[in-house]
């Protein structure tokens, strides 16, 4: 899974053009979102095949600013405070979360400044949750 940072014009139809370019290439968006910040369109979208998505967007004249790996984490929605807990773990490891959103499968998607350290935190979190489920179940 790859996150693409996409610069969009702040005008009607810009997002439609992005979606149409992806559709022509047979590329589905797996998660993400788009915003206007300081008058400029900014988007982060998740793709199974980032390179194909990037080519489709660039062929349509849409600027892809960056393509990055992501961390994928499933949080326990029944337990309040999950975002704070995993964010604190990342911070304690010196990892800055730069982008955060959910995918279409209700998983937390994180783009971090140090993917290796972030992946280690995420994997430890997953192991601990699995261990806690086994001991409580």
How does pLDDT run across 58-107, given as a tens digit for each residue? 999 999 999 999 999 998 888 899 999 999 999 999 999 999 999 999 99
pLDDT attached to residue 137: 56
Which domains occur in the chain, in start order? 2-69 (3.30.2130.10), 71-136 (3.30.70)
| Whole-angstrom distance, CA of residue 102 vs CA of residue 36 | 19
pLDDT attached to residue 98: 97
Q: What is the mean pLDDT of the chain?
A: 94
The side-by-side arrangement of strands in the sheet containing 63-69 is: 31-37, 40-47, 2-8, 63-69
Whole-structure pTM value: 0.89
pLDDT band at 136 (very low <50, low <70, confident <90, very high): low
What residues pair up with 32 in beta bridges, in sequence order? Answer: 45
């Amino acid at each position: 899974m790859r996150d693409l940072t996409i610069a969009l014009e702040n005008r009607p139809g810009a997002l439609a053009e992005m979606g149409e370019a992806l559709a022509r290439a047979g590329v589905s968006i797996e998660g993400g979102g788009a915003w206007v910040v300081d008058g400029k369109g900014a988007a982060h979208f998740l793709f199974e095949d980032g390179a194909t998505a990037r080519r489709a967007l660039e062929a349509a004249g849409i600027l892809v600013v960056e393509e990055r790996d992501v961390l994928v984490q499933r949080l326990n929605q029944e337990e309040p405070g999950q975002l704070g807990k995993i964010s604190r773990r990342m911070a304690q490891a010196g990892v800055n979360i730069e982008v955060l959103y959910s995918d279409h499968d209700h998983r937390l998607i994180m783009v971090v400044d140090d993917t290796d350290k972030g992946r280690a935190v995420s994997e430890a979190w997953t192991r601990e949750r699995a261990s806690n489920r086994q001991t409580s179940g």
